[in-house]
Amino acid sequence: MTEDRAESHGHESGGSADLVVLSELADTLIDDLQRHPAGRTAKTILSGTVMRAVVIALKSGAEMSEHDSPAAATLYVIKGNVTVRAGDREWPVSSGQLVPIPPQRHSVVAHADSAVLLTVALR
């Protein structure tokens, strides 16, 4: 997955923050999917010492294969629809819906060109 890094913007120290329009960033990343043979791309919009937020675009049919779960995380679907799978459980998630990431190995598959906001607690 390609990933552009954004700088932390003072969220943890009380400084000012840059505004991110999630729908616009989602459209940009989805439009850019054709340049990514793996069918996914991402942009980190917040990276600090306690939290990270990343917008991930997935082409229809693309999968983020099974991987370990962070201590605490959520997945919010900005556009499209995906399924989060962990063991024999699955959670279909559509635009405007948020799901906590399960505390075990999991995968994510896109059923349409989709963009999600992954928010991860780092400690």
Q: The domain that contains 81 carries what CATH number?
A: 2.60.120.10
Q: Is 80 in a helix, a strand, or coil?
A: coil
- Chain Cα centroid distance, residue 103: 16
Q: How many domains does the chain have?
A: 1
Structural domain for 116, as ranges:
2-121
Asked whether the beta carbons of 62 and 39 are under 8 A apart, the reply is yes
Q: What is the b/e burial string over 36-74, where b = at least 16 CB atoms within 10 angstroms of the residue's CB? A: beebbbbbbbbbeeebbbbbbbbbeebebeeeeeeeebe
What tens-digit pLDDT sequence spans the chain (123 residues)? 444 434 333 334 344 568 999 999 999 999 999 999 999 999 999 999 999 999 999 999 999 999 888 889 999 999 999 999 999 999 999 999 999 999 899 999 999 999 999 999 987
pTM: 0.84
Provide the pLDDT for residue 5: 39
3-state SS class at 95: coil
pLDDT at position 17 is 67
Q: DSSP letters along 11-43, please?
A: TTTT-------HHHHHHHHHHHGGG-TTSEEEE
